[in-house]
A and B are shown apart, each in its own frame.
Chain A
Amino acid sequence: MKRVLSLFFIAALGVLLLYVVASMPPMGDPQTPTATHVIPRYLERAEEETHTENVITGVILNYRGYDTMGEVTVIFCALAAVLAVLGRERRGRIRGFVDRSPVPSSTIVRTMVRFMVPFIILFSVYTILHGEISPGGGFQGGAIIGGSMIIFTTVFGLYESSRRIPQKVRAPLEGSAVIVFFLVGALGLVGGGNFLTYAWPHAARGLQPALVTWLTVLVEVGIGLGGAMVLISILFAMIREEEEIALTA
């Protein structure tokens, strides 16, 4: 009975949504409300107004930077939620039970990973710094760093990787995205604007555009570092949990 009822509700919702999608303005039509109201200004004036060549970056970090500040807080919140449920790995406790890799690996794999990880991290640095000009940015770069550490940890084990990025490094950097956003935001106030006005107080007029670009890059770096640390901390917390279950079983 319950199953039939829930299937009925899901089907009803599905029909409703399909009906709405059918009556929405057609995709790609240049006359739709979306294409005529806010977007033209972004496309035409983003570069001169936000001093970023990539319009997407201009929108998410500048025009709607406050939303992005919220989003990086969501990412940080995900970490806090994981730590609340699983608990953080305790200082100095790791060596006891997790210094081997969970996956048996050959010398070839170890050598390749050791060789590749620096290049992956170099690529992520490029992605972060270039986010202002080309596709990419802090979120993507941070995910790449996190990915590289996932590979490294899979092959060498938690002990090796947590020795390289210990908790004392991660703890202050996990929130770097929010911190950088807050600082840049407050800087806008010093310059006489509103919160999150990208501006450098008392800069000569000609220097201002370059400094705004640099502030944008600074925010990207904060997002990248913070995102990477959040991913790594979540990974460590989950591995520790696995190990504890394995030990108690």
Chain B
Amino acid sequence: MGAWRHFPIFMITLPLLGAVLMPFLGYLRERWVPYAALLPLAASTLLGFLLVGRIPAGDHLSYHLGGWEPPFGIEIRVDHVGLFLMLVVCAITLLALVYSRRYIEKEVSPGRRTAYYVLYLLMSGAMLGFTATGDIFNLFVFMEILALSSYALVAITGNRNAVRAAFKYVLMGAPSSIMVLLAVGFLYSVTGTLNMADLASRIAESGYTEVLVVSYILFVIGFGVKAALFPLHMWLPDAHSIAPSPISALLSGLLVEVCAFALVRITFSVFTRSATDLVGGTADAVGVAAAAAVLYGGIMAITQKDLKVMIAYSTVSHIGYIFLGITAFTAEGLTGAMYHMLDHGLAKACLFLCAGNFIYLKGYRRIEELRGAWRQMPWTCFAFALASISVIGIPPTAGFISKWYLILGNIRAGKWLYTIVLLSGSILAAVYCLRIIYYMFFQAGKEEAWEDASRDVPPGMLVPVWALSLGTLFFGVFSYLLIPSLLKASAYLL
């Protein structure tokens, strides 16, 4: 065991440490904050990549904080699936932070910019801690940091609509946090432990079936709100469309996925296979909700006039995809869900950042205003098109790979109806994405709409957008790099 055992804890705590140091730096030199904020995230990303290949296949890294063995102390537990998601989080948060500097200068007033970077780092660190933890109370603690920082980041521009959207988000988010806390309390009262692995063994022999079932239901509702699972998604379209674009990218591309992953951990690492018959009914209900989400999100996205609201509804639809992969209870389905977290994260972050480019340069939010956008902003438009292709699921992008495995997983599970739902979700996605591409490239806009300003946005905003959209292409072409180990890791989780 080398020094690499300590990497995960530093991946989590360095962004948190960076966040608490920012107010002082902001007091001394506010201009430096956007650059200084990059350091802890870059360090986390580096540590994450150094960790690749260290964890033996089909095994996990268990790190005992303070040296106390698990049921007594807190455990950090990183398996391949967890490490994969942590790397996705690191990469996307880093890119969106690079993007943030110019965008935030324009959107957020000077007195609040430091707070933006503080909250951004807190949110990134919390997502990493949330993904890596092996303790359900610790899960709750990180969920609170995550929730609080995301509420505030939605409201950060301070205008009336933003505050209203954030308030709506709080109204739904706060009760959901309490539900998770209640669920943790219930589980503790019947098992006497908070460690996930220990819980898994003690749940099997615990006699308190009612308490266990209700606690699972509360977990599903609690994380369901945070992950915006239909019909608990009401806060999402407002919050995700009104937040500053880099934050929209993070909320849509990462936060909902990370919360869905928490439910994966609760389902497979805590309640486990042996208890599946215990919670099977709830899991079936989640499947129905997820199928409804795929269709509802897709149809609502088609009817939208505002670009960011449309992308937000597309997220509602894709969360349904992820949950359908989870409820298939097959290795292929789970692999598809995990891969979908990656490609949806990349593609959705890219779409939101592209929408941010239009807002930054022209102030355009409505879809109709994008007619002929191609002439002035070719780079942004091409990146948007590439990410849209991944959202639809056309090869050779990563979206195709993940949908392939999602469908495969559902066929293996014999769930034909869901397979049809998944396919029709893609058709809906094609309708709402291709409409935008059609407007951008094949319709002539008004001359005066696109002629005045300079050409495309500055490189600091284009590079992250292109990195994300090329990422969807890369993971589509080179999916064999990840799929085998994800399949193995999923089988290990099941």
Find out whether the CB atom of A175 lies under 8 angstroms from the CB atom of B21: yes
Find out whether the CB atom of A80 lies under 8 angstroms from the CB atom of B118: yes
**Is residue A130 within 8 Å, beta carbon to beta carbon, of the partner chain?**
no
Q: In the bound complex, how far is the Cα of B121 from the Cα of A73, in angstroms?
A: 11
Find out whether the CB atom of A90 lies under 8 angstroms from the CB atom of B24: no
Q: In the bound complex, how far is the Cα of B191 from the Cα of A25, in angstroms?
A: 10
Find out whether the CB atom of B141 lies under 8 angstroms from the CB atom of A70: yes
Find out whether the CB atom of A34 lies under 8 angstroms from the CB atom of B13: no
Best-surrounded residue of A32, A69, A84, A87 (most CB of chain B within 10 A):
A84
B166 CB, nearest partner CB in chain A, Å: 8
Find out whether the CB atom of B17 lies under 8 angstroms from the CB atom of A77: no
Other-chain residue from A24, A66, A87, A185 in contact with B138 (beta carbon distance below 8 A): A66
Which of B203-211, B341-349, B385-393 participates in binding chain A?
Answer: B203-211
Q: Which of A14-32 contact B (CB under 8 A)?
A: 16-17, 19-20, 23-25, 32
Find out whether the CB atom of A16 lies under 8 angstroms from the CB atom of B214: yes
Q: In the bound complex, how far is the Cα of B166 from the Cα of A184, in angstroms?
A: 36
Q: In the bound complex, how far is the Cα of B155 from the Cα of A198, in angstroms?
A: 39
Best-surrounded residue of B65, B193, B210 (most CB of chain A within 10 A):
B65
Q: In the bound complex, how far is the Cα of B214 from the Cα of A20, in angstroms?
A: 7
Find out whether the CB atom of A80 lies under 8 angstroms from the CB atom of B66: no
Q: Which residues of B contact A39 (CB under 8 A)?
A: 192
**Is residue B467 within 8 Å, beta carbon to beta carbon, of the partner chain?**
no
Find out whether the CB atom of A182 lies under 8 angstroms from the CB atom of B191: no
**Is residue A195 within 8 Å, beta carbon to beta carbon, of the partner chain?**
yes
Which of A103-111, A115-123, A136-144, A164-172 participates in binding chain B?
Answer: A164-172
Find out whether the CB atom of A194 lies under 8 angstroms from the CB atom of B6: yes
Q: Which residues of B contact A178 (CB under 8 A)?
A: 16-17, 19-20
B393 CB, nearest partner CB in chain A, Å: 35
Find out whether the CB atom of A62 lies under 8 angstroms from the CB atom of B19: no
Q: Which of B7-34 contact A (CB under 8 A)?
A: 9-10, 13, 16-17, 19-21, 23-24, 26-27
**Is residue B456 within 8 Å, beta carbon to beta carbon, of the partner chain?**
no
**Is residue B95 within 8 Å, beta carbon to beta carbon, of the partner chain?**
no
**Is residue A174 within 8 Å, beta carbon to beta carbon, of the partner chain?**
yes
Find out whether the CB atom of A167 lies under 8 angstroms from the CB atom of B214: no
Q: In the bound complex, how far is the Cα of B134 from the Cα of A67, in angstroms?
A: 12
Interface residues on B, range: 35 or more
**Is residue A246 within 8 Å, beta carbon to beta carbon, of the partner chain?**
no
**Is residue A33 within 8 Å, beta carbon to beta carbon, of the partner chain?**
yes
Contact with A along B431-456 (1 / 0, CB 8 A): 00000000000000000000000000
Find out whether the CB atom of A77 lies under 8 angstroms from the CB atom of B148: yes
Find out whether the CB atom of A80 lies under 8 angstroms from the CB atom of B119: yes
Q: Which residues of B contact A38 (CB under 8 A)?
A: 71-72, 192-193
Find out whether the CB atom of B192 lies under 8 angstroms from the CB atom of A24: no
Find out whether the CB atom of B122 lies under 8 angstroms from the CB atom of A63: no
Find out whether the CB atom of B17 lies under 8 angstroms from the CB atom of A179: yes
B412 CB, nearest partner CB in chain A, Å: 34
Find out whether the CB atom of A20 lies under 8 angstroms from the CB atom of B186: yes
Task: Classify the interface of chain B: helix, strand, loop or mixed.
Answer: helix
Return the chain B residue nearest A33 by Cβ.
B192
Which of B109-117, B372-380, B457-465, B475-483 participates in binding chain A?
Answer: B109-117
B407 CB, nearest partner CB in chain A, Å: 34
**Is residue A7 within 8 Å, beta carbon to beta carbon, of the partner chain?**
no
Q: In the bound complex, how far is the Cα of B137 from the Cα of A81, in angstroms?
A: 23
| Interface size, chain A (Cβ < 8 Å) | 58
Find out whether the CB atom of B211 lies under 8 angstroms from the CB atom of A23: yes
Best-surrounded residue of A32, A73, A171 (most CB of chain B within 10 A):
A73
**Is residue B153 within 8 Å, beta carbon to beta carbon, of the partner chain?**
yes
Contact with A along B43-69 (1 / 0, CB 8 A): 000000000000000000001111110
Q: Which residues of B contact A179 (CB under 8 A)?
A: 17, 20-21
Q: Which of A26-83 contact B (CB under 8 A)?
A: 32-39, 41-42, 62-67, 69-71, 73-74, 76-78, 80-83
Other-chain residue from A35, A37, A193, A196 in contact with B191 (beta carbon distance below 8 A): A37
**Is residue A113 within 8 Å, beta carbon to beta carbon, of the partner chain?**
no
Residues of B at the A interface (CB closer than 8 Å) are: 6, 9-10, 13, 16-17, 19-21, 23-24, 26-27, 63-68, 71-74, 109, 111-112, 114-116, 118-119, 122, 125-126, 129, 135, 137-138, 141-142, 144-145, 148-149, 151-153, 155-156, 158, 163, 166, 182, 186, 188-193, 202, 206, 208, 210-211, 214-215, 217
Residues of A at the B interface (CB closer than 8 Å) are: 16-17, 19-20, 23-25, 32-39, 41-42, 62-67, 69-71, 73-74, 76-78, 80-85, 87-88, 90, 167-168, 171-172, 174-175, 178-179, 182, 185, 188-189, 193-198
Can you name 7 A-B residue pairings with CB atoms under 8 Å? A24-B208, A32-B189, A80-B118, A175-B19, A175-B21, A179-B17, A193-B66
* Given A84-B112, A84-B116, 16 new contacts (CB under 8 A): A17-B214, A32-B189, A33-B192, A34-B189, A34-B192, A64-B73, A67-B135, A74-B144, A82-B152, A83-B118, A84-B152, A84-B155, A175-B20, A178-B16, A178-B17, A198-B66
